Amino acid sequence: MNNEIKFGALIDWLNGSKVGTNPFNMIPDCSGIYKIFVLNEDRDEIKFGAAKTVNGKLFCPSFMRNDGRVVKVTVTNASELQKHFTDLNDNVIYIGKATSLKNRLRQYAQMALGGHSHRGGIDIFAVQDYDKYLHVAWYPLIKEYATADEWETAEIENFKQEHFGQRPLANRAK
């Protein structure tokens, strides 16, 4: 199974570039985890700056919860992100979980268009030209884990063991 795609292909499809096969059709509608990463050959190109949408819309607008509270998600300072990315020296930027990989990755891609239905891993949008450099891989739930949440926790713990207690760049808020 081919389980990875350039993040920009998902964004482009949602943004109206409906050329070719719908990339979301290759993502299963099941529980699992996903990882957002950069290819080795692009690692030196990764620069952090202001978080922005691909089409100029307000990034991650505030929204009101059912209880009336206004929620505004902020991105970490770009220079802190750049330092953390360099210090970690790892290509994985975010590890996430989903009850539906297809729906969750659609929500994530919609963030690049100004949506606010997915707030996890918000710092990936500070990667300049994220639609060009970032990739996403997905993994349907395996029998070793009862839930995607349990598997995500284990993957983050493994990452921390390999990186002196540090989480992936965009998982740091947890």
Number of domains comprising the chain: 1
Indicate the pTM of the whole model.
0.89
Q: What is the pLDDT of residue 1?
A: 45
Residue 13: which domain range? 4-171
Cα separation, 58 vs 74, whole angstroms: 12
Say how far residue 169 (Cα) sits from the centre of its chain: 10
Average pLDDT, integer, range 27-39: 97
- For the beta carbon of residue 24, count every other beta carbon within 10 angstroms: 18
Residues 78-96: pLDDT tens digits?
Answer: 999 999 999 999 999 999 9
